[in-house]
């Protein structure tokens, strides 16, 4: 084996080791994030999005039921665990997999006036986790979730920001 081949094999081995370490670090971070924010639902009834907007100023912490995704834009931030959500539809629409809110005149009208709602999944230090909530928490657009946290509603911008410390998938 020549000196050049040895250097190449050593470099390749180092790259493989570093890649494996990087993957295991990302996997352990995701697992730690999921474990620290795992929410077990008890007897407390989650608020609707509308109730959370009205009551967030007076509540230190609350549970709220939400649907992952809002509008046609990007739902997930690629660099932090912030994502957009919307209200879970009422009645038959909530359980009809063929219902498309983008073609329903009632849903489109409601969406025009709907607030922008951002969920920020936080660690124990109050910081978002690095990486997308889609990957870390295995979230998908359209999924129904419950989050626990506190919120701030800005009526001028019609925006609710939920600083969440717990998450459960429905």
The model's pLDDT over 100-122, given as tens digits with 9 standing for 90+, comes to: 777 888 877 877 788 999 999 99
**Do 55 and 150 form a contact (C-beta atoms < 8 A)?**
no
Whether this model's pTM surpasses 0.75: yes
What is the distance between the alpha carbons of residues 132 and 151, in angstroms, rounded to a whole number? 21
CA atoms of 49 and 145, how far apart (whole Å): 12
What confidence score (pLDDT) does residue 136 get? 95
Q: Give the domain ranges of the chain.
A: 38-169
> Which CATH number applies to 38-169: 3.40.50, 2.40.50, 2.60.40, 1.10.10?
2.40.50
Strand 62-68 versus strand 82-86 pairing type: antiparallel
pLDDT at res. 113: 81
- pLDDT for the residue 107: 78
Give the pLDDT confidence score for residue 21 in this predicted structure. Answer: 42
Find out whether 39 and 168 touch, Cβ atoms under 8 Å. yes
């Amino acid at each position: 084996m020549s000196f050049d081949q040895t250097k190449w094999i050593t470099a390749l081995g180092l790259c493989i080791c570093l890649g494996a370490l990087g993957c295991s670090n990302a996997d352990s971070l995701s697992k730690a994030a999921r474990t620290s924010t795992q929410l077990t639902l008890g007897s407390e009834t989650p608020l609707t999005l509308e109730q959370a907007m009205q009551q967030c100023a007076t509540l230190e912490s609350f549970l709220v039921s939400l649907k992952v995704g809002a509008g046609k834009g990007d739902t997930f931030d690629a660099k932090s665990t912030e994502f957009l959500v919307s209200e879970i539809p009422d009645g038959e629409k909530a359980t009809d997999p063929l219902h498309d809110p983008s073609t329903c005149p009632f849903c489109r009208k409601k969406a025009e006036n709907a607030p922008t709602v951002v969920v920020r999944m936080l660690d124990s230090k109050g910081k978002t986790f690095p990486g997308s909530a889609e990957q870390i928490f295995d979230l998908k657009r359209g999924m129904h979730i419950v989050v626990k946290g506190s919120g701030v509603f800005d009526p001028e911008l019609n925006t609710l920001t939920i600083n969440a410390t717990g998450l459960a998938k429905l």
